[in-house]
Amino acid sequence: MIAAADHDVILKLEDVSKVYSGTVAVKRANFEVRKGAVNVLVGENGAGKSTLMKIIAGVEQPTLGRILLEGEEVSFSSSGDAVKRGIGMVFQELNLFGNLTVAENIFATREITNRFRKIDSRKQERRAAEFLERLEAGIRPDMLVEDLRIGQQQLVEIAKAVSLDARILIMDEPTSALSAAEVEILFKVIADLKARGVAIVYISHRLGELIRIGDYITVLRDGRITGQEKMKNVDTQWIVRQMIGSDAKDFAKADGHVPGDEIFRAEDICLPRVTGGLAVDHVSLSLRAGEILGIYGLMGAGRSELFDCIMGRHGHATGTIFIAGKKVKERDTTRRIRRGLALIPEDRQREGLVSILSVATNLTLASLSRFVRLFHIRSAKENQAVAQMVRELAIKVADPAQEVSSLSGGNQQKVVIGKALLTGPKVLLMDEPSRGIDVGAKADVFRTMRKLSRDGLGILFATSDLDEVMALSDRIAVMSNGKLTGMFDRAEATEAALVAASALGHGPVPHTENTAHD
C-alpha cells in the first residue's frame, strides 16, 4: 500500500465553470483526481457534483476553464472521447436499454464482432459473465435488463463501467438502489480496482459510506469547492459543516403537541400483484389529526403500493378508507384529492412534476378549481397563492414562470409538496419525501412536516431510512412483503425491533433471494 501522500494526480480541473439555464452549476472549481485512490465528492443536491463529473466524463463541456489529463490539456466533445482516454462513469440515472440483454448493454457501442462484422453474442456473454461474477449479483448475461430489479440494474451499470478498463472511474451515487449486501460487494470491487491503480471518483449522500471507503474528500457547496482534505483528517461534523456552512441541522424536534381525533382510517386494503400474490396484503391502519405515522420497510415492501391504493390509483384494489370517520366511496384520484387526500410521490421526475411547465403551473395544477370563477382562472388569485407557497416553503426560484426543470432537486421536491398543500389536504401521504435531496432541503422538508402536523394534518410518510423514521414519527408502522408486520409507539420503538419486523412478512421460511426483492 502506497502512502496517501504519494498518490499521483492523474486528472486536474482548473477554474472550471459550467452554466445551465437557470443556474450556475459549477463556479471556478479546482479539482484533483488521484491515482489508486478513492476520491470522494460530496455536497448537497444541486451543489454541482453531478455536473462536475459529467464534465470529466465528457457528457458536458465546461463553459470556462481547463481540464488537464496527466498534465496535458484535453477537451472532450462527447463521452466517447472520454472513454477513449480511459474515463468511465456510472451514472446516477440508469443509462441502460431495458429491451436489450445484460451482455448487450455492457458491450453497447463496443460490440465484440467476428470476422464478418457479426456480433459474437456468445463471446460477449462469456465476457459479461466474468464481470458480473465479480459483482456476485447472480445476474445472467442473457437476461433482459427490464426484467431485473432496480438494484440489479445498478450492478449492471457498474459492471459496464468496470468493463471499460478505465483509468479513471466515476461513480455517481452507485449505492442508492443497492442492498447492504450488494454495497459490501461493490466496496470489494472498488478496493480491487484501487489496488490496480484505478482512480475512483465516488459521489454519495451517505456520509458513513464515504468515510469508510474514501481516501480524499472534496466538498462542494452551491457550485463552489469549499473543502479539500485527506479523509483521515476529517470527521462527519467537518463534512457537514463544509456542506451546509454550519453545524448539522438536526431533524426538526417534536413540539409536544397532542394529536387530535382520528382523521384517517384504512381497513383491509389489498392489492393483487400481476405475478400472483398480494402487493398489499390486508393492511389496516389508523391516523390521528396532527400525527405523523412513519411507515418503515425495505424497498418493495409495498409502501408505495399502499399509498397508491389509498389515492385510488388502482381500480382493482379492495378495502375501504375513512376520512374523519366518513367512508370514502369515491374510487378515483381526482375525487379523493377533493376529499382531502394528497400524495407526494416517490419519483419526482416521472410522477411529481410536469417538467416542461413552469413552477407556477406545477404548483397550482392540482388545485386549479380554487382559483376558478365559472370556468375562468383568475390569475391574480393564482399568482397570489403561488407567491405565498414559494415564500412558505422557501422555494429558491427567481421567477415562478421559470420552467420547473431548471430548479435543483430539493427545490423541485418543495414544488411537489407545495402542489399537494395547495389542494388543502387533511391527510398527506409522503413517499420517501427526502429521497435524493440534500441535507439543507431535507431539514426544510422535515420542518414543514412538523409544522403541518402542528396545524392538524395527518401525515403518513414512507421511508426506508431508519434514522428518519425514528426521529420524525409519532408512531411507526412496519411493512414487509405487503403485510403490516409491526406497529410501535415512538417510546417503545427500537431500531432492532423495526428491522426485525421488516423481515417478518416473508414468513417462517427464510427466502434469502426474496428479502430484498419483495
Residues 74 and 90: their CA atoms lie apart, in Å, by 21
Residues making contact with other proteins (CB under 8 A)? 17, 19-24, 63-64, 311, 313, 332-334, 337-338, 343, 345, 350-357, 361, 365-366, 368-369, 372, 375-377, 379, 419, 423
Residue whose CB is less far from other proteins, 118 or 350: 350
Task: Give the nearest distance from C-beta 384 to other proteins in angstroms.
Answer: 16
Which residue reads 462542494 in cell numbers?
220
- The rounded distance, in Å, linking the Cα atoms of 346 and 28 is 34
For the bound state, the minimum distance from the C-beta of residue 77 to other proteins, rounded and expressed in Å, comes to 16
Q: Which residue stretches of 323-465 are H helix?
A: 333-338, 359-364, 379-392, 409-422, 439-454
- In the sheet that holds 483-489, the strands lie side by side as 341-344, 427-431, 458-463, 292-296, 475-480, 483-489
In angstroms, the CA 303 to CA 295 distance is 7
For other proteins, which is the closer residue by CB, 9 or 64? Answer: 64
Q: Which three cell numbers stand for residue 210?
A: 464515504
Q: What distance in Å separates the CA atoms of residue 49 and residue 441, rounded to the nearest whole number?
A: 16
Alpha-carbon distance 392 to 444, whole Å?
10
State which residue, 360 or 498, has the beta carbon closest to other proteins. Answer: 360
- Distance CA(224)–CA(473), nearest Å, equals 35
Q: Which residue lies nearer to other proteins by CB, 214 or 425?
A: 425
Q: Which is nearer to other proteins, 181 or 354 (CB)?
A: 354
Q: How far is residue 91 from each of residues 186, 329, 370, measured CA to CA in Å?
A: 15, 44, 41
Residue closer to other proteins by CB (options 384, 494) is 384
Instruction: For residue 203, list its beta bridge partners.
Output: 41, 172
Nearest distance from residue 284's CB to other proteins, in Å? 24
Which of 369, 388 has the CB closer to other proteins? 369
Q: Nearer to other proteins by C-beta: 194 or 414?
A: 414
Other beta carbons within 10 angstroms of residue 469's beta carbon come to 26
Number of H helices, E strands in the chain: 16, 22
Q: How far is the CB of 405 from other proteins (least distance, A)?
A: 10
Q: How far is the CB of 403 from other proteins (least distance, A)?
A: 10
Q: Which is nearer to other proteins, 19 or 129 (CB)?
A: 19
Question: Could you give phi then psi for residue 259, rounded to 5 degrees?
Answer: -60, 150
Locus of grid cell 443536491: 45
- Cβ proximity to other proteins: between 19 and 207 the closer is 19
CB of 220 to other proteins, least distance (A): 16
In the complex, minimum distance from the CB of residue 64 to other proteins, in angstroms, rounded to a whole number? 8
Instruction: Tell me the closest approach of the beta carbon of residue 417 to other proteins, in angstroms.
Output: 13
Q: How far apart are CA 25 and CA 225, in angstroms?
A: 12
Centre a 10 Å sphere on the Cβ of residue 93 and count the other Cβ atoms it contains: 10
How far is the first Cα of the chain from the last one, in angstroms, to the nearest whole number? 41
3-state secondary structure labels for all residues of 389-405: HHHHCCCCCCCCCCEHH
CB of 66 to other proteins, least distance (A): 16
Minimum distance from residue 308 beta carbon to other proteins (Å): 9
